Structure 1
Amino acid sequence: MTGARADWEQRIGQPSDQRLTGTGALPAPTSLIAEAGTGLVRLDWPPVAGALGYLVHRATSEDGPFEPLDHLGGDVLAVPHPPYADTLVDPGVTYHYRVATWFDGGPGPLSDTTSATPLPAGPAPARVEVAVDAAAPPVPLPAVWRRMIGAEHLSLLVWDGPGPGGSDVAAEYAEALGIMRDEVGVRTVRAHGTFLPETVTVRADGSFDFTGLDAVYDRFLALGLRPVVELSFMPRELCADPDHTVFAYRAQVSVPADWSRWGDLVRELTVHLRNRYGADEVATWEFEVWNEANLEVFWNGTRADYLRLYEVAARAVKGVDERIRVGGPSSAAAGWVGALLEHCRTNDVPIDFVSTHTYGNAPLDLRPLTRSFAEVTGRAEPEILWTEWGVTPTHFHRVNDAVFAAPFLLRGMRSALASTDALSYWVASDQFEELGWPPALLHGGFGLLTVGNLRKPRFWALALLSALEGGRVPAEVTGDGAGATVEALATRAERTVDVLVWNGTLDQSKVDGASVLDRTVTVTVSGLEPGGYAVASRRVDEEHGNIARVWRELAGAEWPTPEQWEALRGADTLPVEYLADVAGSAGTVSVTVELPMPGIRSLRLTRR
């Protein structure tokens, strides 16, 4: 293990300061229901006004003890809304559940107890039905996944050293961002390290030299994308403690020795960017203050120090151009959002968006916090940007390369449609240096794309989501695990109806799948014009859209040979399967498909 990785794993769980304690808990949910399913218990309850989420507790005795249910995602355990599927179960065992409402200070009191006993697998997969109403007026589908994507520091665009597996880092990194632009429709990129030594230097007279950043941004903007300007890390010359660093490239994460110099840096950067790229252009960018200051590994100060860091930066940016959007706290595990909003309220500090991160779960609903801020201040409600989100916060975790992560991605995006303005997946490419370069082709990297830009199952999930055409129409899911493991989205365009249905769980003990959770899904589309319909299907599962399976079959070592690269690139597709034409003489079409867990099916009905 490298020194950087060992240091990271030792410090990553340590908060830099105490979490916000909050001022009072919300009431517990009422009318909690537990339903026995095949290989699962499905929990449901009415929403609680003001809740950011809910923390499910479980016991094997009705008298407890009740402990938070850990689905092994490695981060926030609270879920944003019901229903919830507990798949960490043994069939035939009775489990008892209570749920707490989650607010900015953590969980409130527990609900009353409900119980259920999960069922064993039957001779055939359990059944689920998806009813799509194509006659309903279509409504816009918020493309929260297109607003932003995460990426390693943008200076990789000018990297001239040897790359992992003999790759050309700069060329592949640019190509990866282009793939995200063209195949997913991504518009902005959020990356660390605006103030790394290769991009910003401090001259002997104390002035700032942005020549390196100019070279990076020139190449980046030529891709037709816009940056999220993450105001980090601290230039060494400005650090109170220059030896407090993070990552293999030793980024400085110290408080400033002189707070006015921090303000000067942010102000001069803003002026420089406006002068070089145009004031109207830069006014469309987001400026995000720091990264995960609520973790000791990223910040050697307190929460109060971070709030000061934010205030100085926000006033510096707005002092140059009020139109530029600034926000934070860019925190880990949804922390400090309430604290930052309260600081901005009491000190009249500008804030245009709140940003935070979570992994291994769907993001919490932060709207109660932003709406409360707007009501109290009379100011515009800040946007909600999840500037990092993914299946795991753990580097080199095999779930990153697994099919399991594909329906996980769709669950999170669907969950976020109404509650966020952006859900930015971390990250686009396995060209990634934080704890050392990739040691092998499939090494558990965070990227949606491998070194060499092969598409992982998570990428195909995002591509299928992006392929939905038209406006959203209702897709009601019923049956065993409905809305908790099996979910769906449907859209209607002029001549087509698209249905995207997936089967997944948050439970990472099931990374390799679980046949007890496999389902047979019947999709029924009503409200169609009478006539014949062609049905085109694509799928992601162990046998489809799974580059790891192809690599295993090639019996590769760490990196492909030229012949293996050719085979891998030939398999880097998601073919369309044409199912039998169906007749919709009564305006209704039904299609039945097998849907393993994990798995995704897309169906496109086109009128003949």
Structure 2
Amino acid sequence: MIRVPAEAAGRLSDAWRYSVGTGRIELALRRDYIDSLSLTQREIGFRHIRGHGLLSDGMGVYRPYDHKGARRVHHSFTYVDQVVDSYLALGIRPFLELGFMPAELASGEQTVFWWRGNVTPPRSHQDWAGLVRATLRHLVDRYGLDEVRTWPIEVWNEPNLPDFWQGADEKAYHLLYEVTAHAVKEVDADLQVGGPAISPGADDWLVRFAEFTEDREVPLDFVSRHAYTSGPAQHVPFGVHQTLGPASGLLEQFGTPRRQLQGTRHAELPVHITEFNSSYRPDNPVHDTAFHAAYLAPVLAAGGDLADSFSYWTFSDMFEEIGVPTALFHGGFGLLTHRQVRKPTYHLYAFMARMGPERLARGHDHLVTRHSDGRVTVLAWAPVDPTGETPGPDRHDVHLSIPVAARGEAFLRRSTVDEEHGNACTAWRHMGSPRSPRAGQLDVLHEAAEPARSHRRLPLADGRADLRLTLARHEITLVELTPLTDETPPWWDERRLLGGEAS
């Protein structure tokens, strides 16, 4: 038994909800996307949202034209306004990623993804700077300077990879960043600009990037990188399988930027992990599983100790980097499938959203918090084997002594997700894995996605509850303990439900 202290150990970091990822932001023009984001915001409530493609051709911002023999540029924000308006209406702010390159401004034709985002440097850095200034000035004019100052502005995405930045040319990226950062600050000195948004395995880039910005006195308000733990892709039709490292590898990556920047003038800068997940592939079935929720639980519980934010990639399976998904469950990044079917990892986030602000205890398989009204919340998870060599234990016991500021009894509410509960993917497999479920099948899947719930009274002794939990394989569970005030009338007698006489 673990005795949970009555005194708080500190505040529970909400770095896990600072930002969430999305497919290219153009997708926000679609109904299913907005329906999914609305549900996510209602039940979880992220603060920022980051995705690719703000300046790509699909958003139609950069519009050169010829008039009276002169080449001119018109900047159109029709789609940008619709997207940002939708975000703000749902209580979420942009985490702006400046990219990719408009084709008419690009120096080359190399593209990435099914939707062909151009990843070449600008043929005119002056015109690129003009595009950045025009975009930010429009946003400031429309939404107000105080508002836009709260939106971090990240320059490009994973420039260390040749797929995302032509030739992975580090010097060319440094020039792009320098021009962009100065353009941002010309609009307003207090706008937040940062980078380099590198992928795992390129930590030396961050060191050289920090040295470059320091030597050249280039503005830098935050640093960013990404984190994944999967190995090389083993391809099958419309999917992949990959090995996974332990989830602690994500925490190791979260902490790397601060370790690298120790002793520099950038040591105190905010660190944003602007993408993280287990696999970096949007077609890996592990994303749909109960295993995935249990795998990531310790990351959400502890990640805020290491970074100012860590952004789950992504909130929805409306995501088309390798093409339109071929089935409802296809291993997509999303917390939600299309049609808003909740996955087990969605429930992990929803459970975190119900935790209290005071952190009482944290262990290898549990997190205990308290609300201001005295409610105590416990998130517990069954350890997993990320190697896949074993399925993990059939059961895992958690035994806690919980302080509850009440006498007599507490009301216990338990919500459970495992291989059979809160797991629509399991039900989908049972029904034959229909690629396009019919309306009635969708109803069943939404029903299957609901966590199992139970309720009971728990006796207290000396202001403490003896909480014994037995978790199934790959289970995450949320227990909420509420001080109980019994208002049952004195004449209530369950034995008289069928009209019997009082004993």
Pick the TM interval, shorter chain. 0.7 to 0.9
Matching residue of 1:352: 221
Q: Is the CA contact 2:404–2:483 (under 8 Å) kept in the aligned structure 1?
A: no
Equivalent position to 1:503, from 382, 390, 398: 382
1:293 correspondence with 2:151? no
1:267 correspondence with 2:127? no
SS of 1:239 mapped into structure 2: coil
Equivalent position to 2:251, from 363, 366, 371: 363
Provide, for residues 299-353 of structure 1, a one-character-per-residue CA deviation record: whole Å limited to 9, x for no partner. 1141121111111111110111011101111111163222221111111111111
* AA matched with 2:20: I
* AA matched with 1:604: E
Q: Partners in 1 of 2:301 and 2:4 — Cα distance? A: 16
1:190 correspondence with 2:50? yes
Q: Partners in 2 of 1:187 and 1:157 — Cα distance? A: 16
Matching residue of 2:107: 240
Provide, for residues 94-131 of structure 1, a one-character-per-residue CA deviation record: whole Å limited to 9, x for no partner. xxxxxxxxxxxxxxxxxxxxxxxxxxxxxxxxxxx443
Q: CA deviation at 1:220?
A: 3.2
- Note closer, same or farther for the CA distance 1:369–1:444 as it changes in structure 2 (3 Å cut): closer
* AA matched with 1:542: E
Q: Partners in 2 of 1:311 and 1:509 — Cα distance? A: 45
Q: CA deviation at 1:152?
A: 0.8
Q: Is the CA contact 2:17–2:46 (under 8 Å) kept in the aligned structure 1?
A: yes
- Note closer, same or farther for the CA distance 1:372–1:426 as it changes in structure 2 (3 Å cut): closer
1:412 correspondence with 2:272? no
1:425 correspondence with 2:312? yes
Q: How does 1:276-287 map to 2 (within 5 A)?
A: 276-287=142-153
1:136 correspondence with 2:7? yes
Q: CA deviation at 1:149?
A: 0.6
- Note closer, same or farther for the CA distance 1:571–1:250 as it changes in structure 2 (3 Å cut): same
Q: Is the CA contact 1:532–1:584 (under 8 Å) kept in the aligned structure 2?
A: yes
Q: Partners in 1 of 2:80 and 2:373 — Cα distance? A: 46
Equivalent position to 1:253, from 93, 115, 119: 119
Structure showing the higher helix proportion among its residues:
2
Q: Is the CA contact 2:368–2:376 (under 8 Å) kept in the aligned structure 1?
A: no
- Note closer, same or farther for the CA distance 1:184–1:366 as it changes in structure 2 (3 Å cut): closer
Q: Partners in 1 of 2:377 and 2:75 — Cα distance? A: 51
Q: CA deviation at 1:210?
A: 2.3
Q: Is the CA contact 1:154–1:220 (under 8 Å) kept in the aligned structure 2?
A: no
Q: Partners in 1 of 2:220 and 2:75 — Cα distance? A: 28
Could you tell me the TM-score, scaled by structure 1's length?
0.71
Q: Partners in 2 of 1:433 and 1:538 — Cα distance? A: 33
Q: CA deviation at 1:138?
A: 5.8
Task: List 4+ stretches of structure 1 deviating above 6 A.
Answer: none
Matching residue of 1:153: 24
Identity over aligned pairs, percent: 32
Q: Partners in 2 of 1:259 and 1:526 — Cα distance? A: 61
1:171 correspondence with 2:171? no
Matching residue of 2:64: 203
Matching residue of 1:34: none
Q: CA deviation at 1:470?
A: 3.9
Provide, for residues 570-607 of structure 1, a one-character-per-residue CA deviation record: whole Å limited to 9, x for no partner. 3332243114x222122222122222331112212222
Q: Partners in 2 of 1:320 and 1:287 — Cα distance? A: 13
Q: Which runs of 5+ in 1 are unaligned?
A: 1-128, 159-169, 478-482
Range 145-154 or range 363-372, more displaced: 363-372
Provide, for residues 60-119 of structure 1, a one-character-per-residue CA deviation record: whole Å limited to 9, x for no partner. xxxxxxxxxxxxxxxxxxxxxxxxxxxxxxxxxxxxxxxxxxxxxxxxxxxxxxxxxxxx
Range 330-339 or range 444-453, more displaced: 330-339
- Note closer, same or farther for the CA distance 1:307–1:447 as it changes in structure 2 (3 Å cut): same
1:598 correspondence with 2:465? no
Q: Partners in 1 of 2:308 and 2:91 — Cα distance? A: 21
Could you tell me the TM-score, scaled by structure 2's length?
0.85
SS of 2:323 mapped into structure 1: coil
Q: CA deviation at 1:249?
A: 0.8
Q: Is the CA contact 1:344–1:351 (under 8 Å) kept in the aligned structure 2?
A: yes
Matching residue of 1:389: 276
Provide, for residues 535-572 of structure 1, a one-character-per-residue CA deviation record: whole Å limited to 9, x for no partner. 21111111211111222233342111121122222333
Provide, for residues 419-476 of structure 1, a one-character-per-residue CA deviation record: whole Å limited to 9, x for no partner. 111111000111111111110111111110011001000000110111112411124x
Provide, for residues 261-297 of structure 1, a one-character-per-residue CA deviation record: whole Å limited to 9, x for no partner. 2222212211222122222221211110000111111
1:586 correspondence with 2:473? no
Q: Is the CA contact 1:429–1:447 (under 8 Å) kept in the aligned structure 2?
A: yes
Q: How does 1:507-546 map to 2 (within 5 A)?
A: 507-509=386-388, 513-515=391-393, 518-526=395-403, 528-546=405-423
Q: CA deviation at 1:157?
A: 2.4
Q: Partners in 1 of 2:346 and 2:183 — Cα distance? A: 38
Q: Partners in 2 of 1:450 and 1:376 — Cα distance? A: 43
Matching residue of 2:367: 488
Q: Is the CA contact 1:130–1:488 (under 8 Å) kept in the aligned structure 2?
A: no
Provide, for residues 203-242 of structure 1, a one-character-per-residue CA deviation record: whole Å limited to 9, x for no partner. 1234242233233333333333211111000111222212
Q: Is the CA contact 2:283–2:330 (under 8 Å) kept in the aligned structure 1?
A: yes
- Note closer, same or farther for the CA distance 1:569–1:366 as it changes in structure 2 (3 Å cut): closer
Q: Partners in 2 of 1:206 and 1:578 — Cα distance? A: 67
Matching residue of 2:447: 570
Q: Is the CA contact 2:374–2:405 (under 8 Å) kept in the aligned structure 1?
A: no
Q: Is the CA contact 1:519–1:595 (under 8 Å) kept in the aligned structure 2?
A: yes
Q: Partners in 2 of 1:322 and 1:225 — Cα distance? A: 23
Provide, for residues 132-186 of structure 1, a one-character-per-residue CA deviation record: whole Å limited to 9, x for no partner. 22x213632111121111001121122xxxxxxxxxxx11101111122221111
Q: Is the CA contact 2:405–2:463 (under 8 Å) kept in the aligned structure 1?
A: yes
Provide, for residues 343-391 of structure 1, a one-character-per-residue CA deviation record: whole Å limited to 9, x for no partner. 11111111111111111342336667548758543x7821111110112
Matching residue of 2:41: 181
Equivalent position to 2:437, from 538, 557, 560: 560
RMSD value, Cα: 2.2
Range 565-574 or range 385-394, more displaced: 565-574
Q: Partners in 1 of 2:21 and 2:208 — Cα distance? A: 25
- Note closer, same or farther for the CA distance 1:281–1:400 as it changes in structure 2 (3 Å cut): same
Q: Is the CA contact 1:266–1:313 (under 8 Å) kept in the aligned structure 2?
A: yes
Q: Partners in 2 of 1:157 and 1:458 — Cα distance? A: 22
Q: CA deviation at 1:492?
A: 4.5
Range 445-454 or range 558-567, more displaced: 558-567
Q: Partners in 1 of 2:276 and 2:254 — Cα distance? A: 15
